[in-house]
Chain A
Amino acid sequence: MAVLLERIDDVRWLLPRSYKASMRVPGRIYGDETIVAALREDLSLEQVANVASLPGIVGYSLAMPDVHQGYGFPIGAVAAFDTEEGIVSPGGVGYDISCGVRLMVSTLEVDDLKGRCEDLARALFRAVPSGVGSRSSLRLSGEELCRVLEKGARWAVDRGLGEAADLARIEEGGTFGGADGGALSHRALERGLDQLGTLGSGNHFIEVQVVDAVYDVDRAAAFGLSPGRVAVMIHCGSRGLGHQVCDDGIRLMARMKGSRAVAVPDRQLCCALLGSAEAEAYLAAMRSAANYALANREVIGHQVRSVFCAFGSRGLNLLYDVSHNIAHVERHRVDGVLRRLCVHRKGATRALPPGHGSLSPELRPLGQPVLVPGSMGTASYVLVGTESGAEEAFASTCHGAGRQLSRQAAKKATIGQNLTRRLAGEGIVVCAEREGTLREEAPEAYKDIDAVVDVVERSGISAKVARLRPLAVIKG
């Protein structure tokens, strides 16, 4: 693989256009030597090249340091497409549309939870439905579901299931514009009726954390992150509704014929030209699913707030809520020219720099908080967007540690281990439906989060603000 990649500097690598005749732009990979060496193990680089071959792609096909093989697009991909000549691809967003992370900061210090962490974890586990087949206590009518799809987190606030102050701390003010519930299939709507306010399973989690390192004292203080402060991170998405929207979009685009069809090297990359009826329908449905995800995290946040209040926290302040599976139409400067682009981030996080007009007035001078969860049992980070990230990476950065072992390999690597007991030995309480899920999600299944974050900081595409370590993990 070293032959294919040209090293630009310590943390940037070029996949040249000569790698594949169909490539319209080169690929750029962010990573250190260890991360790049690991790319030999899967098809990530091939997928970076395939994305670089799609019509209307601008600049580079980017891979963040947490990149690993996905469906069509790799996970950890950023690709921007010209809105006049480019495409939108459901596979470039992913199945779990607007899967994302929020971080809420409590008024508790870590000592306030001494001897009570297990009780807190159990209370959270009871309060938030999680696991396979979990159902919400909310029963939405079809009409109300359509309001969720149009209003996102704002719907939850209006229903008393969230706080108005949260909206300034959620991307797009809590509502993605251009949503249309009418663009969703009956199946997608049906799958969304009883899952709002549920965590789901797999790698989704609620994690109680404590701030254990601060790198940017001023920003950390402005974000309410002081050493010893307890916070809670929530990672989940749009549940079955989002999956159905992705599936419907792929089915529609894979069936397009004639001049509307876009030739792709992998059916999972199927796409539609921006401006076409198919692209517009998908974008309207995708934004609706994204609103469902924002509402889902707001409702879960509300449930988590109640539990924290019972444990003595005077509220939970939302630091930020951001998606890492989404396509946004944004303006970016490319070679000195301001262009309107459809930026796909699949397993990548938007990271707006200080001064950006899309940030709320309170965050504008600071820049956008970027939330990067680690694997279960390892640290998570709060980063901030930078000007150089906006210039060279369409204001994007990594989204997590990124998988390095398959589920089966992770199970093998932890054979005979009781993860709950092992993590308890490290001072981390775990509540989960199944021990099997825990072993699939064991820390060794993921890349070293410190190395991933180190790469994005050294490359300058985002900057460290604080690190948090886990106290308790709730998994589906």
Chain B
Amino acid sequence: MWRELDRSGDLGLLVEAPDGESFFEECRRALYSLLFGSVPPCGEGSPFSLTLDGIDNSDLAVCWFNELLYLLETGRGCLVPNRYRHDAGLFRLEAEGTLVFPPSMPRLAVKAATYGRLRFDEGPPLRLEITLDL
């Protein structure tokens, strides 16, 4: 589950999910929904995997959003993972999948995920409030 939060000049998001793997997938869906509307990125793509380390799980969520934004801004594409592995104790996320072309130009210029007004509840369910800089 995710929904947009009212923030001043920025974009706020609330994301909730029962476990780590589905939480990071929900973050990804939320971001791409805001950027591309109802058309999800899909289709043929090139294999891609990544590993992210945070200093805690809220930091890991910020890193995840920033990684997705970086891949998009530099033209690599949208990440469609088929496997996640979240180690909540080590604050580590591994994702494997494919990078596909975005379905359209983004509707919003989201530049970065921030620590501003960041709230994270380890749950269950995991619950994140995050502000994205426009």
Q: Does B48 contact A (CB under 8 A)?
A: no
Measured CA separation A405–B9 after assembly (Å): 8
Q: Interface residues of B: mostly helix, strand, loop or mixed?
A: loop
Give bound CA distance, A190 to B106, whole Å. 19
Segment at the interface with A among B21-29, B82-90, B109-117: B109-117
Please indicate the chain B residues that have their CB under 8 angstroms from the CB of A68 in the complex. 8
Interface status of B33 (Cβ within 8 A of chain A): no
Which among A43, A247, A266 has the greatest number of chain B C-beta atoms within 10 A?
A247
Complexed CA–CA distance, A268 and B105 (Å): 30
* Most A CB within 10 A of own CB, among B59, B105, B111, B117: B111
- A243 and B111: CB pair below 8 A? yes
Least distance between A264 CB and chain B CB atoms (Å)? 10
Residues of B within 8 A of A240 (CB): 73, 111
* Closest Cβ neighbor of A255 among chain B residues: B55
Return the contact of A254 from the options B7, B10, B55 (Cβ within 8 A).
B55
- Known contacts: A95-B133, A406-B7. The answer to whether A72 contacts B112 by CB under 8 A is no
B122 CB to closest chain A CB (Å) equals 17
Residue in A closest to B55 when the chains form the complex, CB atoms: A255
Q: Which of A73-98 contact B (CB under 8 A)?
A: 95-96
Name which residue of chain A comes closest to B131, CB basis: A71
Partner of A190, one of B9, B74, B107: B74
A216 smallest CB distance to B (angstroms): 32
Contact of B7 among A95, A247, A266, A407 (CB under 8 A): A407
Closest chain B residue to A190 by CB distance?
Answer: B74
Q: Is A340 an interface residue (CB 8 A)?
A: no
Give the residue of B105, B112, B134 whose beta carbon is less than 8 angstroms from that of A247: B112
A-contact 0/1 string along B63-93, CB 8 Å cutoff: 1001000100110000000000000000000
Instruction: Specify the chain A residue showing the minimal Cβ separation from B4.
Output: A408
Instruction: Please measure, in the bound complex, the distance between the C-alpha atom of A185 and the C-alpha atom of B7, giving whole angstroms.
Output: 30
Query: Which B residues are in CB contact (< 8 Å) with A70?
Result: 116
In the complex, the chain B residue whose C-beta lies closest to that of A445 is: B9
Closest chain B CB from A327 CB (angstroms): 18
Is A422 at the interface (CB under 8 A from chain B)? no
A202 at the interface (CB under 8 A from B): yes
Partner of A133, one of B55, B106, B112: B106
Give A408 to B70 CA distance when docked, in angstroms: 25
Q: How many residues of A contact B (CB 8 A)?
A: 41
Residues of A within 8 A of B66 (CB): 247
**Count of chain A to chain B residue pairs whose CB atoms are closer than 8 Å in the complex:** 83
- Please measure, in the bound complex, the distance between the C-alpha atom of A43 and the C-alpha atom of B131, giving whole angstroms: 14
Q: A71-B131, A187-B70, A243-B111 are in contact. Are A406 and B116 (CB under 8 A)?
A: no
A407 to B6: give the CA distance in the assembly, Å: 8
Interface membership of A453, Cβ < 8 A: no
Q: Is A328 an interface residue (CB 8 A)?
A: no
Bound complex: CA A270 to CA B6 (Å) = 25
- How far apart are A376's CB and chain B's nearest CB, in angstroms? 13
* Distance in angstroms between the alpha carbons of A96 and B131 in the assembled complex: 15
**Roughly how many angstroms separate A108 CA and B12 CA in the complex, as a whole number?**
44
Separation in Å of the A35 CB from the closest CB of chain B?
A: 15
What are the residues of chain B within 8 A of A476 when measuring CB–CB?
Answer: 109
Q: Which of A191, A406, A476 has the most CB of B within 10 A?
A: A406
Q: Does A434 contact B (CB under 8 A)?
A: yes
Smallest CB separation, B7 vs chain A (Å): 6
A200-B73 Cα distance, complex, nearest whole Å: 12
Chain B residues, Cβ within 8 Å of A202: 9, 109, 134
A247 to B4, CA, bound (A): 23
Q: Report A181-237 residues with CB < 8 Å from chain B CB.
A: 187, 190-191, 200-203
- Partner pick for A201 among B9, B59, B109, CB 8 A cutoff: B109
Residues of A within 8 A of B (CB): 42-43, 68-72, 95-96, 131-133, 187, 190-191, 200-203, 240, 243-244, 246-247, 250-251, 254-255, 266-268, 270, 403, 405-409, 434, 436, 476
- What are 26 pairs between A and B in contact, CB < 8 Å? A68-B8, A71-B115, A71-B116, A71-B133, A72-B115, A95-B111, A95-B133, A132-B105, A132-B106, A133-B105, A187-B74, A190-B74, A191-B74, A200-B109, A202-B134, A203-B9, A243-B111, A243-B112, A246-B112, A254-B115, A266-B115, A270-B115, A403-B8, A406-B7, A406-B9, A407-B7
